[in-house]
Amino acid sequence: MRVCMIGAGYVGLVSGACFADFGHRVTCIDRDVHRVAALKRGEIPIYEPGLADLVEANVRGGRLHFAAETSSVGDADAVFIAVGTPSRRGDGFADLSYVYEAVREIAPRLAATAVVITKSTVPVGTGDEIERILRELRPEADLQVASNPEFLREGAAIQDFKHPDRIVVGSDDARAQAVLAEIYRPLYLNAAPILYVSRRTAELIKYAANAFLATKITFINEIADLCERVGADVQEVARGMGLDNRIGGKFLHPGPGFGGSCLPKDTLALIKTAHDNGAQLRIVEAVTAVNDQRKRAMARKVVAALGGSARGKTVAVLGLAFKPNTDDTRDSPAIPLITALQDLGARVRAYDPAGMEQVKPVLPDVSYCNDAYGAADGADALVIATEWEQFRALDLARLKRLMTAAVIVDLRNVYRADEMKRADFRYIAIGRGTVE
Ligand code: UGA
């Protein structure tokens, strides 16, 4: 199959490289000429484990190409739209201007029987509007519009792409279904189920799935707060719940609240869709409100660990990315945490293995360090905000020597209470008792 990805950002690049790896001939098109030039030189603009090797192998194999203009669209059987859909300022609705611009730009060049597929997360009905635009601009052509949402997690995107739980194909048209079945055929070996549904259903599946994941996280976060009040251990509660197959153990890790470029934005956009259509999603509304409040609650937790006041204290923050294995700091819970601590008079020293450059413009008054120990130097408390692998086995004796006070606030429940007790740290985790 000849495939074009419009947008060489996170989704476009990962999907394009994986499709090429399946054996398809793929061109990733991005209007950012600098990005395209960098990709052609073999430089990957995003941090995603395994992506650089995958891109390189497929470029070398002649299956993956990059372009800044849309001329190659004419050869493609399938054109995926994978441009950004940021939250629109003011109302939280997904900003679809990039999607529609891309459609208008490619329309004159599309082969007459091409299938145009949205991979970007787009609200219900976006496919209908794309179809309308294409009909208007190419009345003579037999173009099809399908939805094929992605379910990739940053940091595990290639694994998720190659071993999906399911593939969702949103189209009632037999030709569009056949093209997508052929594109995903290499995954038959992994027995990945393909779900054929209507386009609107596919668009909603993506939002409903992300909103449910956000709900699961928020639910366990609130249970964690209750655990702290009643003297229960949330890790064990989560395990005890998750072993029930109807519930499942994944996404029951309590933490500082969900962040990133997807769950916060998609929950807001779903609420907006519901309002616009006269429906209410009270659970999802509660999830977004609880998650927002949680960010302030985390700052209060750190202040309590500092003895009730942050003024004049130094706090070491480990982890700035919204989760490990990514340099993405969008909506990262670490950012409002740091801002709140600074507002309360604390000095912040921070370290993240990948995300420091990204936050420097928004957090200029932080001392950025070269590693966890550098950040801990002279700190009155150390906060683990992201569970990077390298923060899971810190040399506690060394930390203790470096820090002014032996206090760790573990917002990701990385450590066990007994090891902290042995190392003689005051240890505050989430939903588990404090080690004094
Ligand atoms: C999420 C979904 O998991 C993907 O399926 C989806 O494709 C993607 O959004 C998207 O829409 O593109 P992602 O944003 O990469 O993926 O990250 P997640 O792994 O879902 O984590 C989101 C946030 O929830 C992070 O801040 C993470 O730390 C937090 N989280 C996750 C928890 O606090 N507890 C958990 O148990 C799981």
Sorted by where each begins, the domain ranges of the chain are: 2-197, 204-436
Confidence check: pLDDT of 91 > 80: no
How many Å lie between the centroid of ligand 1 and the Cα of residue 148? 19
Best residue among 152, 292, 384 to mutate for probing ligand 1, ranked by most atoms within 8 Å of CB: 152
Q: Find the largest Cα–Cα distance for the chain.
A: 75
CA dihedral 302, 303, 307, 312 (to 10 degrees): 110
- Round to whole Å and give the CA distance between 334 and 315: 12
- Round to whole Å and give the CA distance between 308 and 187: 55
pLDDT value for 200: 98
Residues lining ligand 1, judged by CB closer than 6 Å?
121, 150-154, 210, 213, 217, 251-253, 255, 258-260, 262-263, 266, 322-323
pLDDT value for 289: 98
pLDDT value for 247: 98
* Four-way CATH pick for 204-436: 3.40.50.300, 2.40.30.10, 3.40.50.720, 3.30.360.10: 3.40.50.720
Q: How confident is the model at residue 36 (pLDDT cuts 50, 70, 90)?
A: very high
Q: What is the DSSP string of 350-382?
A: EE-SS-HHHHTTT-TTSEE-SSHHHHHTT-SEE
How many Å lie between the centroid of ligand 1 and the Cα of residue 264? 10
262 catalytic residue (yes or no): yes
Q: How confident is the model at residue 206 (pLDDT cuts 50, 70, 90)?
A: very high
- Round to whole Å and give the CA distance between 69 and 52: 23
pLDDT value for 142: 97
Q: How confident is the model at residue 425 (pLDDT cuts 50, 70, 90)?
A: very high
Instruction: Identify the burial level of 311 via C-beta atoms within 10 angstroms of its C-beta, where 0-12 means exposed, 13-18 middle and 19 or more buried.
Output: exposed
Cross-sheet strand order for the sheet of 144-147: 64-67, 25-29, 2-6, 78-81, 115-118, 144-147, 167-170, 194-197
- Counting atoms of ligand 1 from 1, which one is nearest the CA of 252? 36
- Counting atoms of ligand 1 from 1, which one is nearest the CA of 150? 7
How many Å lie between the centroid of ligand 1 and the Cα of residue 74? 36
Q: Which two tokens stand for residue 259?
A: 């962040």
Give the residue-averaged pLDDT of 55-80. Answer: 96
Confidence check: pLDDT of 164 > 80: yes
pLDDT value for 34: 96
Closest Cα to atom 31, ligand 1: which residue?
251
pLDDT value for 117: 98
How many Å lie between the centroid of ligand 1 and the Cα of residue 262? 7
Q: Which two tokens stand for residue 107?
A: 């329309």
- Round to whole Å and give the CA distance between 295 and 292: 6
Give the residue-averaged pLDDT of 111-133. Answer: 96
pLDDT value for 434: 83
How many Å lie between the centroid of ligand 1 and the Cα of residue 403? 32
pLDDT digits over 294-307, tens only?
A: 988 999 999 999 99
Best residue among 217, 219, 253, 331 to mutate for probing ligand 1, ranked by most atoms within 8 Å of CB: 217
Confidence check: pLDDT of 90 > 80: no
Q: Which two tokens stand for residue 9?
A: 């950002």
CA dihedral 398, 400, 403, 406 (to 10 degrees): 160
- Counting atoms of ligand 1 from 1, which one is nearest the CA of 412? 33
pLDDT digits over 335-383, tens only?
A: 999 999 999 999 999 999 999 999 999 999 999 999 999 999 999 999 9
Domain 2-197 and domain 204-436 have a common topology: yes
How many Å lie between the centroid of ligand 1 and the Cα of residue 202? 19
pLDDT value for 119: 94
Q: Which fold has domain 2-197?
A: Rossmann fold (3.40.50)
CA dihedral 221, 224, 228, 234 (to 10 degrees): -160
- Counting atoms of ligand 1 from 1, which one is nearest the CA of 151? 7
pLDDT value for 265: 93
Q: Where are the beta strands (DSSP E) in 70-193?
A: 78-81, 115-118, 144-147, 167-170
pLDDT value for 165: 95
Confidence check: pLDDT of 192 > 90: no
- Counting atoms of ligand 1 from 1, which one is nearest the CA of 10? 12
- Counting atoms of ligand 1 from 1, which one is nearest the CA of 260? 14
Closest Cα to atom 24, ligand 1: which residue?
258
How many Å lie between the centroid of ligand 1 and the Cα of residue 369? 27
3-class secondary structure for 40-74?
A: HCCCCCCCCCCHHHHHHHHHHCCCEEEECCHHHHH
Do residues 433 and 417 make contact, with C-beta atoms less than 8 angstroms apart?
yes
Q: What is the DSSP string of 212-253?
A: HHHHHHHHHHHHHHHHHHHT--HHHHHHHHHTSTTT-STT--
Tell me how long the chain is: 436
pLDDT value for 390: 97
Closest Cα to atom 5, ligand 1: which residue?
151
- Round to whole Å and give the CA distance between 187 and 205: 20
Asked whether the CA dihedral 131, 266, 206, 358 is positive or negative, the reply is positive
Q: How confident is the model at residue 114 (pLDDT cuts 50, 70, 90)?
A: very high
Confidence check: pLDDT of 226 > 90: yes
* CA-angle at 413, arms to 411 and 419, nearest 5°: 120
Give the residue-averaged pLDDT of 188-197. Answer: 87
Closest Cα to atom 7, ligand 1: which residue?
151
Do residues 78 and 4 make contact, with C-beta atoms less than 8 angstroms apart?
yes
In the set 4, 227, 262, 369, the catalytic residue is: 262
Percent of the chain with pLDDT over 70: 100
Best residue among 121, 153, 203 to mutate for probing ligand 1, ranked by most atoms within 8 Å of CB: 153
Q: What is the DSSP string of 249-295?
A: STT----S---SSSHHHHHHHHHHHHHHTT---HHHHHHHHHHHHHH
Confidence check: pLDDT of 89 > 80: no
- Round to whole Å and give the CA distance between 114 and 173: 12
- Counting atoms of ligand 1 from 1, which one is nearest the CA of 214? 24
- Round to whole Å and give the CA distance between 30 and 127: 21
Best residue among 258, 270, 291, 326 to mutate for probing ligand 1, ranked by most atoms within 8 Å of CB: 258
Rg of the Cα atoms in the chain: 23
How high is the mean pLDDT of the chain? 96
Closest Cα to atom 30, ligand 1: which residue?
258
pLDDT value for 86: 84
Confidence check: pLDDT of 190 > 90: no
Q: How confident is the model at residue 189 (pLDDT cuts 50, 70, 90)?
A: confident
pLDDT digits over 257-312, tens only?
A: 999 989 999 999 999 999 999 999 999 999 999 999 998 899 999 999 999 999 99
Q: Which residue in 147, 194, 195, 145 sits closest to 170, CA to CA?
A: 147
**pTM more than 0.75:** yes
How many Å lie between the centroid of ligand 1 and the Cα of residue 378? 33
How many Å lie between the centroid of ligand 1 and the Cα of residue 250? 11
pLDDT value for 88: 77
pLDDT value for 435: 83
Q: Which residue in 120, 168, 155, 159 sits closest to 9, CA to CA?
A: 120
Closest Cα to atom 3, ligand 1: which residue?
153
